[in-house]
Every structure is written in C-alpha cells, then in structure tokens.
Structure 1
Amino acid sequence: MDLRSLTPELSVSSQIRPEELTALAAEGFRVVINNRPDAEVGPDENGETMRAAAEALGMEYRAIPFVPGQVTPDMVEAQAEALALPGRKIAYCRSGNRSTVLWALSRAGEEPTAELLETAAKAGYDLSGVRPLIESIATHGR
C-alpha cells in the first residue's frame, strides 16, 4: 500500500490487501473505493473479497472498476457519489493514478483545472494527459 493524500477526506493508493483494511479503519477511513478491475488481481484481492473485508469492519465499499483508457461518464458520476459519502475515503487501483484521474474528473467544474492538476502532482501523479477531458467536463458537465 502506498497511501497518498489528495484532500483531508481522500487518500489514494496502489492495491491494498484485505488485511490492511483493519489499520485503515483504525486510522479513521470509512469508505473504500475500488477502482481496479477484478481481471487485474487474483481471488485474494478481488472485489468480493475486498467488499467482505471492508463491510466486516463497518466500512462502506464501492467498486468502480476503471480499465485504462476506458473512462465513462457513469464511472465519473459513481466516483463523485462515492466521494460524497461521509467520512474519510481510500480509493485504490494498481498505482493510485486511475483513482486520482477519477477524483479529478469528478471535481471538474467545481475546482479550477490547474488546482486539480497541482494537487495530483503534489501526490506524485501527472494528470496533464487528461487535462483536455477535465476541461471538457468543466465546460460541458458530466
């Protein structure tokens, strides 16, 4: 796990394991957002395993699998809904990049594009390649 804070309420990470959820819950995380498709992981880290582990700890779990290059408006909307849930959130994928992309797209139009890109960069993610999409959503909506 490589936990990186984007906001006080949201951190992103590379793949997390079910046993790591206990420590995350103890740190105050209440929502787990899985942006990694099951085809990329084995049965020990698939969506159902992660859902069961999160729910056993009283955490909310949302699966919004993001195949690289295949972002959809429904995914952006689902991410926005998950991010609106109460409590601290952890979103994860293979490296944290896709989770950061979905965060930025869900915030497009609500925060300046430059600030979204800067926040991502401070966490170690270069979103310059999705800047046109962020700006398009900011202009035209999801």
Structure 2
Amino acid sequence: MGNIIQLDDSYFVAPQLVEVDLVSLKSQGFERIINNRPEAESDDQPSGDSIRIAAEALGMEYMSNPIDLSKLSQEQVDFQRDILLEDKKTLAFCRTGTRSSVLWVLLENGKGGDSGRLMSYVSGKGFDLSRCSEAMAPLLKV
C-alpha cells in the first residue's frame, strides 16, 4: 500500500489498494473505503468487487464512485458528498490518490472553501492538481 495522506479529520486518500491492505486499514480505524478508480483501468488493478468483498468481510463500508477526469460531473461530486454525510474515518483511493483529492477539493470548495487555498493545501500534501484544473474548473464555486 502506498502512502496514506490525511486531508481532514476523517478523509484520507491513497493510491491503489489491494485486498490485503484492508486488514491494516481496519486496524488503523478506517470504517469506510471509497473506490474512485474506474474498473479495469490497468491490468494490475484488482477488481472493485474483490476489494468490496474483503472490506465487507472486515465490517467496513465500501462504496464505488469511479472518476474519469475527462467526464467529471457534479453528480459524481454530489455522490461523494452523500457518501460522506455520515462521519466515518474514510479512505478514498484511485490509481495515485489524485482523483480522490480532486473530489475533496471540490467538496470543500462547495462548502465555501477558497479553491486556490484548497489546491495549494493538497499540492503541499504531494498531489499536483494542475493537470486536473480544466476538469475541475466548471465545478468550482467562486
């Protein structure tokens, strides 16, 4: 498992997970896993179902909200927001953690956070969102 990056009190992001990572995540107190990676994006990627089965076997909630930045929509942002309505320690993952970070920026911006500051904060955590700016622009609130 790659680095787990904390973005707020209960929202963490990480690169691609595999089933065996879930035991460690459970022991760290994670209650919910959000898969933001589209299915079959690469040959070495485990299926979402295999991760869901492993998470649920450990008593963890599993949700799938696959993100393709070229098709990013407000509906996907709203779905992620709805998943997070119940406050639980959550790990969102995708190939590198970037898409899960983009969603966090959009969610926080929707609550009134300054998009520039949010993007700088996430960049300071190691995620370069500059390549995502075009996809995010239509969804950012002023």
TM-score range normalised by the length of the shorter chain = 0.7 to 0.9
Listed one character per residue, the Cα deviations across residues 99-138 of structure 1 (whole Å, up to 9, x for unaligned) are 1111111222321212311221121112245457357531
Q: TM-score, normalised by structure 2?
A: 0.86
The aligned amino acid for 2:125 is: A
Q: Which residue does the alignment assign to 2:141? A: 138
SS at match of 1:106: helix
Aligned residue number for residue 91 of structure 1: 92
Q: Tell me which residue corresponds to 1:79.
A: 80
Residue 127, structure 1, aligned to residue 129, structure 2: yes
The total of aligned residue pairs comes to 139
Map of 2:105 onto structure 1: 104
Give the 4+ runs in structure 1 shifted more than 4 A. Answer: 41-44, 129-132
SS at match of 2:78: helix
Could you state the TM-score of these two structures normalised by the residue count of structure 1?
A: 0.86
Deviation at 1:64, TM superposition (A): 0.5
Stretches of structure 1 that go unaligned for 5 or more consecutive residues are none
Structure 2 portions without partners, runs of 5+: none
Identity of aligned residues (%): 33
Matches within 5 A, 1:51-90: 51-90=52-91
Whole-Å Cα distance in 2 between the matches of residues 130 and 14 of structure 1? Answer: 16
Q: CA RMSD in A?
A: 2.1
Larger mean CA deviation between 51-60 and 37-46 belongs to: 37-46
SS in 1 for 2:91: strand
Preserved contact between residue 30 and residue 89 of structure 1 (Cα < 8 Å) = yes
Per the alignment, residue 4 of structure 1 pairs with 5
Any conservation in 2 of the 1:35–1:66 contact (CA below 8 Å)? yes
